[in-house]
Amino acid sequence: MSGTTETTGAVQGSRFTWSGLARRLPVIALLLAVGTGLGFLGARQQPATYTATATVLVEPADGNPYAPGTRGQNLANLGTEAQLVSSDAVAQIAKSSLRSSASVAALVEQLAVTTPPNSQVLEVAYTDITPAAARNGANAFANAYLIARERRAAQSVQAQINNLTKARTANQSALQRNLAALAKTSAGSPARVLAEQRVTTATAEASKLEAQISDLRLFQGDPGQVLSPAALPTGTAGLPSWILPVAGAAIGLLLGLVLAIVRSLNDRTLRTVDDVKAVGYPVLSTVESTSGERAEALLSDAAADLPDGARLLRSMLGVASPDGGAVLLVPAGAAGPHTTTPLALAAALARADQTVTLVDTDGDLTRATGLADADGVAEVLNEDADPDEVATQYQENLRFVPVGPRYSSSVDKLASPQMRSFLEGLAPDSHWVLVAGPIASAPEALTLADLCTDVIILVSLRQTTAADLQHAAEAVTRGGARLVGVVVDQPVRSGLLHRGRTGDEPAHDQVDPVPAVADAVPQPVAAPVVAAPAVAAADERTEEMPVLEDRRVVEDQPAGEKTGEKAGYASTRRTV
């Protein structure tokens, strides 16, 4: 056997691929459709509203306390005036004008007041469910504001008149007292001069107060005017009807992309051969899976077409183990069928004039070939049958040992000394002993790996994960067995664009290359042939195999190593 070469790999980490994103296009499309649908639903549920706007020119009020000074007397504080428009007093006047049954707070919620910069203008906007209601509401609040402002100005003027009237009354009383004091003084006396001055001052003050009162009574305050009454709005207010569907579609698309990218990064499923190589283990070949009928043909019919990849696998195994030996083939995971590779490898080796014994220890091969009732491994381990009786030759150089009917109750015996003796007893008559084992995580797989020299792990694309492959490699090599590599089981592709083969395999109708043997090739020991119900046609084949033409051989061994080696891949010329 060639030197042991351990291959270790790391579990495949998260990685983004466009193909992984493309596989999740249905999820993206679904969330896009859901977002768009919710947007349309929201647009339909949103009631149509209309907004009308009235423009009001604000005149400065007399005695504006918020704008002192000469210039300030001619300006109004629009921030304060805007707050007054939405006050309860103005809203109550507007409610009476509209004859509305809504509350004052509800009316104020539909109102919006803005102040354009560098102007003395208020824009009163009112929103309602109909154009007429919006127009009437805007005009009602604009007029109500002017009415309230006029009332406030009138109240201010009346308060000033009242104060001046009180001052005039006090002045008249003082004037009467001064006149009485003047009458009591003599002409030319200092007291008379002082009394005359007091009378003059009181008279002047009385005249001033009368003039102010007269001016206030004649004052006609202008609170402002409505420059542009509200008109019927021609379109709905708020967002256009297409905004919500577009926003929903954008949100759905974004969520779909995020979800697809996250799932793509966390997807550890092996979907391509490159994914398998990225884990860190060598890929020996890619073998196309076959149906049950073709599986029977691989066992019984030497002329049956080999699946694509079988010949390449035979060559790779011969290069890795030129002396032959016991090879365990175990699936990395429970998902996916793995019956094709053991049968295809056994048939390919047999056609290369290398004796092969295929042993089923899991039951899948037995069921695929229809030999569930034939005695096999279980009967040998239970000492109910001899090893020579269960090793049935179905074609030249190829023997098969089914699992046996009593397998379910004999699983533990795979770890017994009888199993080791059974495999050792098959080795002298076979250049290769291929053991089809259970999944690598099963306890029996570790036992069988200890009984074999080499291990091949079987991987199903789109079903096996990188973690499954890593755990399988760690499990089967724990006992010291050598991991030769990984074989990818790929379902048969179909469709108009499928050409029938991968391009790296020879056509089925070409002749198999047979290794040229320098020394005498030992003939396979004729094992007793028992009746196999599912493959009886194998006994009707002619005993003479046709001479096969060697297509391509390569000299790769020194002359000193030619003698004493076993026939097959250890010969002086090895098939490539």
pLDDT at 530: 34
CB 138 within 8 A of CB 126: yes
Q: Tell whether the torsion through CA atoms of 228, 229, 234 and 236 is positive or negative.
A: positive
pLDDT at 263: 75
Strands 111-114 and 121-128: antiparallel
- pLDDT tens-digit series, residues 121-179: 999 999 988 899 999 999 999 999 989 888 888 888 888 888 988 988 888 888 888 88
- pLDDT tens-digit series, residues 453-485: 899 999 988 888 888 888 888 888 887 789 999
Neighbours of 229 (CB within 10 A): 15
The domain 273-575 is placed in CATH, from the list 3.40.50.300, 3.30.2130.10, 3.90.550.10, 3.40.47.10, at 3.40.50.300
3-state secondary structure of 229: coil
pLDDT at 76: 65
Query: How many Å apart are CA 536 and CA 519, to the nearest integer?
Result: 34
The values of phi and psi at residue 437, to 5°, are -100, 175
Topology of domain 50-228, CATH: Bacterial polysaccharide co-polymerase-like (3.30.1890)
pLDDT at 327: 93
The values of phi and psi at residue 370, to 5°, are 70, 30
Which amino acid does the sequence have at 364? D
pLDDT at 549: 35
Which H helix or E strand runs over 466? helix 466-476
- pLDDT tens-digit series, residues 528-568: 333 333 333 333 333 333 333 333 333 333 333 333 333 33
SS (H, E, C) 230-275: CCCCCCCCCCCCCHHHHHHHHHHHHHHHHHHHHHHHHCCECCCHHH
Using alpha carbons only, what angle is made at residue 316 by residues 312 and 319, rounded to the nearest 5 degrees? Answer: 140
Which amino acid does the sequence have at 105? A
DSSP conformational letter for 316:
H
- Residue 528: C-alpha distances to residues 194, 392, 416 (Å): 162, 7, 25
SS (H, E, C) 408-433: HHCHHHHHCHHHHHHHHHHHHHCCEE
What burial letters (b/e) apply to 15-36, b meaning 16+ CB within 10 Å?
A: eeeeebeebbeeebeebbebbb
Which residues, other chains included, contact 101 with Cβ-Cβ below 8 Å and sequence gap of 6+? none
Query: How many Å apart are CA 144 and CA 251, to the nearest integer?
Result: 45
Residue 470, token pair as written in the block: 């890593």
pLDDT at 398: 93
3-state secondary structure of 379: helix
Query: pTM of this prediction?
Result: 0.52
Which residues, other chains included, contact 472 with Cβ-Cβ below 8 Å and sequence gap of 6+? 330, 331, 332, 333, 439, 440, 441, 457
What burial letters (b/e) apply to 65-91, b meaning 16+ CB within 10 Å?
A: eebeeeeeeeebbbeebbebbbeeebb
- Residue 279: C-alpha distances to residues 7, 242, 276 (Å): 11, 49, 5
Tell me which residues of the chain have a pLDDT lower than 70. Answer: 1-17, 19-20, 61-76, 219-222, 237-239, 291-292, 335-337, 492-576
